[in-house]
Amino acid sequence: MTDYRPIPLGFERLPPEESVARSRAFLELMQRRRSVRMFSRESIDRELIENAVATAGTAPSGAHHQPWTFVIVSDPELKRQIREAAEVEEREFYERRATPEWLEEIRHLGTDDVKAHITDVPYLIVAFEQIHGAHGQKHYYSKESVGIAVGLLLASLHSAGLATLTHTPSPMRFLREILERPSHERPYVLIPVGYPAEAAVVPELERKPLSEILVSR
């Protein structure tokens, strides 16, 4: 148990006009973020990946336990194994698990069981939730903590000019097995990262307007 040891915050208060300008610029940047399924095989600077993971590591977490592990995968053989295992689960989903209603709900996204993006991208990032510590230490709000960290990760990658996809094949146990992660780590999300293919397309979608997601009381 660590005793409470406060240190100065080091907060920089911005002039109001700069705060608004930064807020608007970040909103405009993030409004251009899209999930991409068609990637280039072009290499990218690994530092961009490492910086994004470091950014994710700044996320708040329950009791500051930081219950996350991010595995960066660039080895072609590992990517091949992950793709094959993911496509097995995806075929099962599309052919047996998904209800007709569910399939109708995702029809406009143009998805199927072929996951070429897994082997096309230069990097995969697999986020794991640490259910408890390596020595049995209880973690608090681990799922929520990892979710916040993944959000920061995606924002960092997008701000660096990279494309991403949040891929959650179910079940995802194969990720822990292929990547040889310990039993207390649970796969949370698989994120292909790279540049979009020159001919990349995305489905035409509309995000809910602010008036539908913000409630003032």
pLDDT at position 1, please?
62
pLDDT at position 161, please?
98
Residue range(s) defining the domain that contains residue 162 = 49-199
Give me the number of domains the chain comprises.
1
Distance between CA 134 and CA 94 in Å, rounded? 36
> Within a domain: residue 38?
no
Total-model pTM: 0.95
Average pLDDT for residues 107-112, to the nearest whole number? 94
pLDDT of 170 > 90? The answer is no
Query: Quick one: DSSP state of residue 97?
Result: I
pLDDT at position 2, please?
76
With contact defined as beta carbons under 8 Å apart, do 155 and 53 qualify?
Answer: no
pLDDT at position 133, please?
94
Residue 63 sits in a domain of what CATH number? Answer: 3.40.109.10
Mean pLDDT of the chain: 97
- 112: three-class secondary structure by DSSP: coil
Residues near 25 by beta carbon (within 8 Å), at least 6 away in sequence: none
> Within a domain: residue 89?
yes
> Within a domain: residue 113?
yes
> Within a domain: residue 82?
yes
pLDDT of 125 > 80? The answer is yes
Average pLDDT for residues 195-203, to the nearest whole number? 97
Distances (CA, A) of 82 to 21, 73, 74, 176: 42, 10, 11, 10
